[in-house]
Structure 1
Amino acid sequence: MVLGGGGADGTGCELRGQDAAMDGALAALYGQGEGGRGKGGAGSGGGKRSAGLGASAPGVARWLGDIRTYFPSSVVQVMQRDAIDRLGLSAMLLEPEMLTAVEADVHLVGILLSLNKVMPETTKETARAVVRKVVEQLEKRLTARTRATLTGALDRSARISRPRHRDIDWDRTIRANLKNYLPEYRTVVPERLIGYGRAAQSVKKDVVLCIDQSGSMAASVVYASVFGAVLASMRAIDTRLVVFDTAVVDLTDQLDDPVDVLFGTQLGGGTDINRALAYCQSRISRPTETVVVLISDLYEGGIRDEMLKRVAAMKASGVQFVTLLALSDEGAPAYDRDHAAALAALGAPAFACTPDLFPEVMAAAIEKRPLPVPDTAERR
């Protein structure tokens, strides 16, 4: 579609009706009038635009309502992010009437969390409702598959060679003993029984999620908090969730509600990975049954050599160590390549992971098999 303005912007086709309204909504954001700051987009034609979002929350709320009417949700989310970046709307998101008009997504949650400490009390409940809506959508999308994938991995990791009769895995036992088939008796003589422990007997694995809460990791913090709550709901996994910048905060006691976890974070600030790993290391009591997941872009502000020594020591003790440069759908992240290469040299490849891949990564770590590392990862 070619969008024009009042003077048709040199296209010779003046827009009317809904097309004109759509163009007005785009011009308010991307035009060269009072609201637009960018040089490109719909407002870069020959006609001068007068549309703009101005500085009032009601005006922006009306604009948000307009774009939700004219454009699909995926486009609305892009325009919202552009409005926040181009027009400085972060302060306006602190007002309740604005929040009720916004199309909620992971990126908006990140913005609200970054504004949490300066948010008026009158807005906090509305903000929590917006965050809870997004969290519930993510839980609906991710929970069932995560639980199914990890339950299977836990069962497989607990298989034993001398199982009791009721714990025999007959399918795997038969496949493993097909060479012992006796045609005259039409049966298999099992030389080796394969079984698995009963899933509800005890905690089988300890998982530590160590999450960088610097501003660039906002989407990863959201997804990791949801996954943390899912893992904590599984009786066979003892889950600990730790967030850090230059300080370290243990949010494990809030894992029953990921919204509480998210509002316990403080996006922004520096990064001290070494300090965070030192805390996590001090909480490990069963290293051979522990998976540590570090989610960070690896821009370390602490002591680099100490950080690497801690990772090496954890791996030497039997800990399964996973490094995720991002846990999001945002594509290739920015990260410290030198630190990523150093971790890879220790046998801890660093890679970005989508939420849909995360259950497979965790299943591989639990079973102590090679991780499904993308081709673009930093590896040895």
Structure 2
Amino acid sequence: MAEAGEAVPGKRTTESGAAAPERRRRWRLVLGGAAEESLGRAEGRDEAMDAALAALYDAGGDADEPTPKRSAGLGGSAPRVARWLGDIREYFPSTVVQVMQADAIDRLDLTRLLLEPEMLAAVEPDVHLAGTLLSLNRVMPEATKEAARQVVRTVVEQLERRIAQQTRAAVSGALNRAARINRPRHADIDWDRTVRANLRHYQPEHRTVIPERLVGYGRRTSAVQRDVILCVDQSGSMASSVVFSGVFAAVLASMRWLRTSLVVFDTAVVDLTERLSDPVEVLFGTQLGGGTDINRALGYGQQLITRPRDSIFVLVSDLYEGGVREEMLRRVAEMTAAGVRVVVLLALSDDGAPAYDHENAAALAALGVPAFACTPDAFPDLMAAAIERRDLMAFAERFADRKASGTVS
């Protein structure tokens, strides 16, 4: 459906003469060969773009259609696909290229071709491609592994540039605020909270607040102040979340005030904490696919908790439990009762609303544990809220409201 103000093919419009050709050009590329009779033939660079789109979106058109679709197709030829990948990188911005690559893998079953080094040299690295390569890790030939590792490393570096600074700033700020003291030095006074704590002492005649109690930041120490345990579901549907979780875990592990553990699971549990110095090694230590035993993973995670009141447990899972559901819920209840800050992320990605087990999510909410899909950009604020022991259910509700209003990507 055309948006308001757009010219619809075949319909009269009063738009300016300069804008009309560009409108027609864009509609021609969108509609493809079916619109050639009414909008004309694509020429020059547009013809090459049209062919690239046709190879992906019009392959296998119905031969009985009155106006045949473009039908270049990609088939199963690695050289042809490699050329196509080079073409789309030339004609389209990287964000569009990433979408087209993902569509090509899904629509044309190109997964097999990703096992060939020359293909990997032609692709545009992105989170979804990294997830696909990780899922192929066990069947990948040795000749391809180094090329695949380089693709994943490029994705990791992109994500680190995006999230590392924000995460460190949010977490270190939260740790400082959580260490507040009531007899601070002048340089350590938190003036905003001091004023709010003393509003009842406002002096109208002087138009000022006379503070009876000072609120300050504690001085940062080199001691570990919080234990963070990320427990990540590595079933096939969680590919993007696994990539983001691995990078976040590595960033958190680089902060000396945190003791960070990373556990991944399907029906078995693997502790990847020792690999956190290299997020690429972390990701290649995962094995995407398989079943899910959340209860077993929680049991292992509980063994890592030595300071409940100073521990944050983040479960990243769509909650489709293949293990013992009642035991899973009992373990979560035990952790929260002991003072552990528990939060469940149905997804940690930019992919939008995920499929998840609504019954288990509701049961966790009844225990006071929020279960929601979190974007990577919001994760640092979530960690800050957990460190400061703020209401995480309220955080989840505010985040959901912001997403609904379109203020969160």
Distance, in Å, in 2 between the alignment partners of 1:310 and 1:38 is 53
Equivalent in the alignment of 2:345:
324
Q: Kindly, what percent of the aligned residue pairs are identical?
A: 66
Equivalent in the alignment of 1:277:
298
Residue 120 (structure 1) shift: 1.1
Q: What does 1:24-35 align with in structure 2 at a 5 Å threshold?
A: 24-31=51-58
Secondary structure of 2:121's aligned partner: helix
After superposition, the Cα gap between the structure-2 partners of 1:38 and 1:106, relative to the gap in structure 1 and judged at 3 Å, is farther
Residue in structure 1 matching 2:364, options 333, 343, 363: 343
1:137 aligns with 2:158: yes
Distance, in Å, in 1 between the alignment partners of 2:228 and 2:174 is 14
Contact map agreement 1:228 1:255 (CA 8 A) in 2: yes
1:93 aligns with 2:119: no
Q: What does 1:288-303 align with in structure 2 at a 5 Å threshold?
A: 288-303=309-324
Residue in structure 1 matching 2:379, options 358, 362, 366: 358
1:169 aligns with 2:189: yes
Distance, in Å, in 1 between the alignment partners of 2:111 and 2:79 is 15
Distance, in Å, in 1 between the alignment partners of 2:220 and 2:35 is 68
Q: Which runs of 5+ in 2 are unaligned?
A: 1-26, 402-409
2:306 counterpart letter in structure 1: S
Secondary structure of 2:119's aligned partner: helix
Contact map agreement 2:203 2:209 (CA 8 A) in 1: yes
1:22 aligns with 2:49: yes
Distance, in Å, in 2 between the alignment partners of 1:38 and 1:161 is 72
Contact map agreement 1:290 1:320 (CA 8 A) in 2: yes
Distance, in Å, in 2 between the alignment partners of 1:18 and 1:186 is 69
2:73 counterpart letter in structure 1: G
Distance, in Å, in 2 between the alignment partners of 1:60 and 1:89 is 9
After superposition, the Cα gap between the structure-2 partners of 1:167 and 1:312, relative to the gap in structure 1 and judged at 3 Å, is farther
After superposition, the Cα gap between the structure-2 partners of 1:326 and 1:37, relative to the gap in structure 1 and judged at 3 Å, is farther
Residue in structure 1 matching 2:334, options 296, 308, 313: 313
TM-score (norm 2): 0.84
Equivalent in the alignment of 1:115:
136
TM-score (norm 1): 0.90
Distance, in Å, in 2 between the alignment partners of 1:224 and 1:337 is 22
Q: What does 1:220-259 align with in structure 2 at a 5 Å threshold?
A: 220-259=241-280
After superposition, the Cα gap between the structure-2 partners of 1:239 and 1:45, relative to the gap in structure 1 and judged at 3 Å, is farther
After superposition, the Cα gap between the structure-2 partners of 1:12 and 1:365, relative to the gap in structure 1 and judged at 3 Å, is closer
**What are the Cα deviations for residues 224-275 of structure 1, in whole angstroms up to 9, with x where unaligned?**
1111111111111110010000000000011111111000000000000000
1:158 counterpart letter in structure 2: A
Residue 53 (structure 1) shift: 1.1
Contact map agreement 2:343 2:370 (CA 8 A) in 1: yes
After superposition, the Cα gap between the structure-2 partners of 1:353 and 1:55, relative to the gap in structure 1 and judged at 3 Å, is same
Equivalent in the alignment of 1:202:
223
Secondary structure of 1:63's aligned partner: helix
Secondary structure of 1:11's aligned partner: helix
Equivalent in the alignment of 1:214:
235
Distance, in Å, in 2 between the alignment partners of 1:200 and 1:145 is 21
After superposition, the Cα gap between the structure-2 partners of 1:16 and 1:170, relative to the gap in structure 1 and judged at 3 Å, is closer
Residue 196 (structure 1) shift: 3.5
Equivalent in the alignment of 1:373:
396
Residue 223 (structure 1) shift: 0.7
Residue 370 (structure 1) shift: 1.5
Distance, in Å, in 2 between the alignment partners of 1:279 and 1:104 is 34
Residue 201 (structure 1) shift: 3.4
1:169 counterpart letter in structure 2: I
Distance, in Å, in 2 between the alignment partners of 1:253 and 1:363 is 24
After superposition, the Cα gap between the structure-2 partners of 1:158 and 1:47, relative to the gap in structure 1 and judged at 3 Å, is same
1:330 counterpart letter in structure 2: D
Secondary structure of 2:230's aligned partner: strand
Residue 293 (structure 1) shift: 0.3
Residue 30 (structure 1) shift: 1.8
After superposition, the Cα gap between the structure-2 partners of 1:7 and 1:352, relative to the gap in structure 1 and judged at 3 Å, is closer
Secondary structure of 2:396's aligned partner: coil
Residue 73 (structure 1) shift: 1.6
Distance, in Å, in 2 between the alignment partners of 1:242 and 1:95 is 31
Secondary structure of 1:246's aligned partner: coil
Residue in structure 2 matching 1:126, options 137, 147, 153: 147
Residue 193 (structure 1) shift: 3.7
1:192 aligns with 2:218: no
| Segment of structure 1 superposing worse, 124-133 or 174-183 | 174-183
Equivalent in the alignment of 2:28:
2
Distance, in Å, in 2 between the alignment partners of 1:250 and 1:188 is 53
Contact map agreement 2:61 2:71 (CA 8 A) in 1: no
**Equivalent pairs, count:** 371
After superposition, the Cα gap between the structure-2 partners of 1:15 and 1:255, relative to the gap in structure 1 and judged at 3 Å, is same
Residue in structure 1 matching 2:168, options 138, 141, 147: 147
Distance, in Å, in 1 between the alignment partners of 2:193 and 2:377 is 32
2:313 counterpart letter in structure 1: V
1:306 counterpart letter in structure 2: E
After superposition, the Cα gap between the structure-2 partners of 1:37 and 1:370, relative to the gap in structure 1 and judged at 3 Å, is farther
2:103 counterpart letter in structure 1: D
Contact map agreement 2:33 2:67 (CA 8 A) in 1: no
After superposition, the Cα gap between the structure-2 partners of 1:182 and 1:325, relative to the gap in structure 1 and judged at 3 Å, is closer
Equivalent in the alignment of 2:24:
none
